[in-house]
Amino acid sequence: MSPPCHSWLSPHASALPMNLLSHNWNLKLMALALAVVLWGHVRSTVNPWETATFLVRLRSSAPPRMVFVDGSKVPDTVKVTVGGPRLSLRQIKGVALANPLSPTGDVISLTSGQVRAALDFSLARKGRQDVPVKAEATVEDVEVIGVNPSNVVVVLDPAASRELTLRPQFLSNLPRGFHLEKVIAQPERASVSGPSEALARVASLRAQAKPQNLKADVPRTLQATVVALDARGRIVLGVVVEPPTASISATLREERIKRRVRVTVKIKGSLAPGYRIVEVDVTPARLSLSGPRHAFENVAALSVPLDVNGIKTTLHKRVSVALPANLTSAGRARVSVRVRVAPLEAPPPTLPTAAASTPVSDADEATLDAMPPNGSTAGGEAKPLAARGGPLLPAPTPPRTRQ
């Protein structure tokens, strides 16, 4: 029995696909065209082509070995207009819209980096020039339509650099009576770079800081900002200082002043009976002291004690002077004290009662009346006081003190 014969295995079966394509080909082509049109209509309705404007940060680094003469005129941002499917623009915005048909915002600040803008320095040269702004989008199916501004005016100059010693500078006054010691800036040197014209005006580099939270005799470290100054002390603009910050170590000290202070002697004890102090001499009479201003506030004189108990003759002694707190002497704080003593004079005797009642003759009374007041006679010779009724005694001399 012979196997069944299938029509699709016949030689005429290979012509079937061609017959399917060629049969009613005009209707099939029309159907394909309608499908493409319908697909385009649906796509344009759900994901239409749109434009959006973004505020993009402008990368404006100067080209190698060149610097901006006035970099402040370069804008920080530019407006970049891009076009693409709505879903692609939504991807750039980073926020999904609730309604696909809702309008987009006007200008959005963009920081994601999917749209970039930078100055094109491919034709850069020295001097003033217009530099084009080049923008690009990294999202598929999105293209840049325009940039505003499309050009930026810059002035370029060959870069130069110098290295100078960094010196500390304080921006406010210290409290009265204080100063700073051991002031050191770290690092000791810094570099400054920029246009050759601006760099020529730089006279010094200063680490500027405010002396805050300082305590006397306590070392402190302050943070400082490094600036470039000209010969008049004004800040030079348009240059770059490296490093931009520094540290200053310093110690606050109270200012020391000098004064000469008088030295006095405080006598202790009693002399031997029948003696008195005639003179007290101190050498030197004043000591030169130095110290903080406040330490002299209650110091009018320096007192040294001296024991004179039982002495009968002149006393010479070297005495150490106790100095108040925070005061020091230029030399050794010692003085030489001399105390001179002398015996007490005998008291004048009292007149007897009988002599007071003795009558004076007329001749004696005339003689006494003729005598000068100082007790001398007409011939110039002194008469003893006994001739007038009593002895001549010297008056007691009070003690003297030389300082």
At 26 the pLDDT is 75
> Higher pLDDT residue, 218 or 277?
277
Backbone angles phi, psi at 29, to 5 degrees: -65, -40
For 398, left (φ over 0), alpha (ψ -120 to 50), or beta? beta
Residue 269 has pLDDT above 60, yes or no: yes
At 316 the pLDDT is 92
Under the banding of pLDDT at 50, 70 and 90, the label for residue 380 is very low
Segment 241-252 shows an average pLDDT of 90
Please, where in the chain does CATH 2.170.120.30 lie?
Answer: 48-149
How distant is the alpha carbon of residue 399 from its chain centre?
61
Residue 340 has pLDDT above 70, yes or no: yes
For the whole model, what pTM was predicted?
A: 0.44
64, two tokens: 């190698």
| Architecture per CATH, 48-149 | Beta Complex (2.170)
At 45 the pLDDT is 64
What CATH code is assigned to 159-254? Answer: 2.170.120.40
- Highest average pLDDT, of 163-172, 173-182, 227-236, 324-333, comes from 227-236
Q: What is the mean pLDDT of the chain?
A: 77
d(CA 346, CA 396): 9
At 210 the pLDDT is 85
| Helix (H/G/I), strand (E/B), else coil: 353 | helix
At 86 the pLDDT is 83
Write out the DSSP string of 9-64: GSGGGGGHHHHHHHTTHHHHHHHHHHHHHHHHHHHHHHS-EEEEEEEEEEE-PPPT
Residue 378 has pLDDT above 50, yes or no: no
Q: Domain 257-343, what fold?
A: RNA Polymerase Alpha Subunit; Chain A, domain 2 (2.170.120)
At 163 the pLDDT is 93
* Span of 92-106, 116-130, 178-192 with lowest mean pLDDT: 92-106
Work out the number of other CB atoms within 10 angstroms of the CB of residue 157: 20
At 325 the pLDDT is 86
| Helix (H/G/I), strand (E/B), else coil: 318 | strand
Segment 372-381 shows an average pLDDT of 43
At 353 the pLDDT is 53
Half-sphere exposure of 333 (CA within 13 A, CB side): 18
At 8 the pLDDT is 46
At 41 the pLDDT is 60
Residue 63 has pLDDT above 70, yes or no: yes
Please, where in the chain does CATH 2.170.120.40 lie?
Answer: 159-254, 257-343
Report which of 254, 263, 396, 255 is spatially closest to residue 333, judged by C-alpha positions.
263
